[in-house]
Amino acid sequence: MSTAPPLPPIAQAQPADGKRLLCRSHPARCGPRSAYPRQHTHWLPDTINPLEDSDQTALGVTTLDSYIEFKGLVHATHLETASRIIVDRRIEGRIATDSTVANPRLDLLDNTTIPLEYVCVHHTTTGWVAPDCALSERFGPITFNLSIYGSEGIVSPGTGTELNFFTYYFLEVIDYHSSEAASRILVVPSSMAGQYQALDHLRYDPALRGGPWYWDQANNKHYALRRSISYKGSERNHTLEFIRYGNFDFPHHISSWSVVNHLDCKRYRSNCLEVQITATEAFLGMWALLVRLSQRNRPEYRERNDQRPGVAFQQTLNAQPRNLEADPASQELNWEVFLSCLRDRNFACAYAVARKIPNETMNARLPPECRLVNAEDEDDDEDDDDDS
Top-confidence residue, 175 or 56:
175
Task: Check whether residue 244 and residue 363 sit in a common domain.
Answer: no
What tens digit of pLDDT does each residue of 119-150 get? 999 989 999 999 988 766 778 888 888 889 87
pLDDT at 303 (0 to 100): 47
**240, 271, 302 - which closes a domain:** 271
Select from 267, 168, 184, 166 the least CA-distant residue to 224: 184
Answer whether residue 11 is part of any domain.
no
pLDDT at 340 (0 to 100): 87
What tens digit of pLDDT does each residue of 293-348 get? 765 555 445 545 566 677 788 888 888 888 888 888 998 999 889 888 888 888 88
Task: Check whether residue 157 and residue 294 sit in a common domain.
Answer: no
Top-confidence residue, 281 or 199:
199
pLDDT at 136 (0 to 100): 66
Residue 135 exposed, middle or buried by CB count within 10 Å (0-12, 13-18, 19+): middle
Answer whether residue 209 is part of any domain.
yes
What tens digit of pLDDT does each residue of 249-304 get? 776 656 577 888 887 787 777 788 888 788 788 888 888 887 777 655 554 455 45
Task: Check whether residue 236 and residue 350 sit in a common domain.
Answer: no
pLDDT at 26 (0 to 100): 86
Answer whether residue 324 is part of any domain.
yes
Q: What pTM, to 2 d.p., does this model score?
A: 0.77
Task: Check whether residue 211 and residue 359 sit in a common domain.
Answer: no
Find the domain containing 150 and state its range: 19-271
**Rg (the chain; Cα; Å):** 25
Per the structure, the count of domains in the chain is 2
Buried b (16+ CB within 10 A) or exposed e, 256-265: ebbbbebeeb
Provide the residue type at 92 as one letter.
Answer: E
pLDDT at 7 (0 to 100): 40
What tens digit of pLDDT does each residue of 202-218 get? 999 999 888 999 999 89
Task: Check whether residue 191 and residue 336 sit in a common domain.
Answer: no
Answer whether residue 141 is part of any domain.
yes
Answer whether residue 9 is part of any domain.
no
**Cα separation, 96 vs 28, whole angstroms:** 12
